[in-house]
Amino acid sequence: MTTAAPFPCPSPSAPAAVYGPASDLLLTLYGRRPLDGMRLDGDRAPVKELIARPSPA
């Protein structure tokens, strides 16, 4: 099931939006699922940069 947030985006100038099931979004953020399986609207570069950031210790 793919859902959108029930509230507006806090920044209308956000460079990108990623859509998909919450479990898939988390797996993508942790680098365990490729971004290619998600619906992405906007600029792909900032999303890839976010995924590439190291996790806090």
Token pair recorded at residue 6 = 């029930």
pLDDT in tens, 13-47: 778 889 999 999 999 988 899 998 889 988 899 88
pTM score of the predicted model:
0.64
* 3-state DSSP helix/strand/coil % of the chain, to nearest 5: 35, 15, 50
pLDDT at 53: 83
Whole-Å CA distances, 12 to 8, 16, 55:
8, 10, 27
Q: Where are the domains of the chain?
A: 16-52
Report the candidate in 1, 6, 11 with the shortest Cα–Cα distance to residue 42: 11
Q: Which residue has the tokens 């609207």?
A: 41
